[in-house]
């Protein structure tokens, strides 16, 4: 038992520069801001966890919060009891963990615990969680407002050359119809297109946009309204001719339960580094199964494939190479539109020591 007792928690703030700035309906971003947790046990096992977002400097707040408040609650505990550790972190910190970066911090530690669980068992994470499939289909994600029409089409076609059959692009600009028409015309009607509004609209605006998207056979409208308003989301979902997807800004299983109860979305997209970690992501997966909804993810395909691939509700994983591939100890290659789930013990996602040094803030 002593082999899995946590003896140290190390936290590193990182910043990965993007090759070119990208723009959504929310903002323009120049980098990925990440916080990496390294959890060490007395027996020599090491678990890794990460939370990340586009832009900002949240890691400079998350790191001291973990070091000063969460790590002391974790050190000395058995990493094989992630549910117990999750409760130890959350229970005394409820006022600071209703949402936001407090939960991002908890998520990173929870991910690291589950990595240890897998390594101690000698099993890949997705096997521990259900092992539904060995490889997972992905959809290409991008379509930034900062792309001109040629760049938009080039990006979409580059994904298609990898065997990827679906692409998500951004809406919320004055050229939404023109960009949508371009993609449909050039990619054909057999290619799947998703539209991401990044909380851009009111209910009325969202429904107007959904009817336009329906003309072009778009397969979902993502985050059409403010993520905090399930009432608005449910109203859009009930009247929209295009299915609704949401989840990147939803926290904990009970946040997703309300969405499910209200039938406010057809696709659930939890972000494992935000929603409460692997412990909460698995609850969302069970909700998707129970409510007959499709389970996807928000970014970070490197870890998301193990989680979506463990569930029979698994649909597709969002694929965007925002972290330099050479920063990771193993590749996550797309082959015929799918990524194979890591077969190494744990979740299989680890940054190289060189990357940890080079990108440290």
* pLDDT attached to residue 30: 97
Chain CA centroid to CA 188, Å: 28
* pLDDT attached to residue 150: 98
Interval 286-345: pLDDT, tens:
999 999 999 999 999 999 999 999 999 999 999 999 999 899 999 999 999 999 999 999
* pLDDT attached to residue 186: 98
How many Å apart are CA 327 and CA 132, to the nearest integer?
Answer: 28
* pLDDT attached to residue 121: 96
Domain boundaries, the chain: 2-122+354-358, 127-352
Interval 68-108: pLDDT, tens:
999 999 999 999 999 999 999 999 999 999 999 999 999 99
**Interval 20-29 mean pLDDT:** 94
H-assigned helices in the chain: 59-65, 71-74, 82-90, 101-121, 125-129, 149-161, 176-187, 203-215, 230-239, 252-261, 278-290, 301-308, 353-358
Burial of 353 (0-12, 13-18, 19+ CB in 10 A): exposed
pTM assigned to the model: 0.97
Q: For residue 333, how many other CB atoms are within 10 A of its CB?
A: 10
Q: Which CATH number fits domain 127-352: 2.60.40.10, 3.20.20.120, 3.40.50.300, 3.90.190.20?
A: 3.20.20.120
**Interval 181-200 mean pLDDT:** 98
**Interval 189-217 mean pLDDT:** 98
Confidence of residue 1 (pLDDT cuts 50, 70, 90): low
Strand, coil or helix: 354: helix
| Closest C-alpha to 137, from 343, 336, 342, 344 | 336
Q: What is the CATH number of domain 2-122+354-358?
A: 3.30.390.10
Interval 106-137: pLDDT, tens:
999 999 999 999 999 999 999 999 999 999 99
* pLDDT attached to residue 179: 98
Interval 218-275: pLDDT, tens:
999 999 999 999 999 999 999 999 999 999 999 999 999 999 999 999 999 999 999 9
């Amino acid at each position: 038992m002593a082999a899995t007792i946590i003896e140290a928690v190390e936290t590193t703030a990182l910043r990965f520069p993007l090759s070119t700035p990208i723009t959504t309906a929310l903002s323009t971003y120049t980098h990925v801001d990440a916080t990496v947790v390294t959890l060490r046990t007395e027996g020599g096992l090491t678990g890794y966890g990460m939370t990340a977002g586009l832009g900002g400097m949240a890691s400079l707040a998350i790191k001291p919060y973990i070091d000063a408040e969460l790590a002391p609650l974790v050190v000395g505990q058995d990493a094989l009891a992630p549910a117990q550790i999750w409760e130890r972190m959350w229970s005394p910190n409820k006022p600071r963990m209703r949402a936001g970066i407090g939960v991002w911090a908890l998520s990173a530690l929870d991910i690291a615990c589950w990595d240890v669980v897998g390594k101690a068992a000698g099993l890949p994470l997705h096997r521990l969680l259900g092992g539904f499939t060995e490889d997972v289909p992905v959809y290409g994600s991008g379509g930034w407002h900062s792309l001109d029409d040629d760049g938009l089409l080039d990006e979409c076609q580059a994904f298609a050359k990898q065997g990827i059959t679906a692409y998500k692009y951004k809406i919320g600009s004055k050229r939404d119809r023109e960009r949508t028409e371009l993609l449909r015309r050039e990619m054909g009607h057999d290619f799947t297109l998703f539209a991401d509004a990044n909380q851009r609209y009111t209910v009325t605006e969202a429904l107007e946009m959904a009817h336009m998207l329906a003309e072009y056979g778009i397969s979902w409208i993502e985050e059409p309204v403010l993520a905090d308003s399930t009432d608005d989301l449910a109203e859009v979902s009930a009247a929209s001719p295009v299915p609704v997807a949401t989840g990147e800004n939803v926290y904990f299983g009970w946040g997703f339960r309300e969405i499910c109860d209200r039938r406010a979305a057809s696709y659930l997209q939890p972000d494992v580094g935000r929603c409460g970690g692997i412990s909460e992501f698995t609850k969302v997966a069970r909700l998707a199964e129970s409510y007959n909804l499709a389970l996807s993810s928000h970014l970070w395909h490197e870890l998301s494939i193990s989680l979506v691939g463990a569930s029979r509700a698994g649909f597709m994983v969002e694929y965007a190479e925002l972290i330099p591939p050479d920063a990771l100890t193993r590749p996550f290659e797309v082959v015929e539109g799918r990524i194979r789930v890591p077969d190494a013990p744990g979740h299989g996602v680890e940054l190289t020591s060189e990357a940890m040094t080079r990108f440290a803030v």
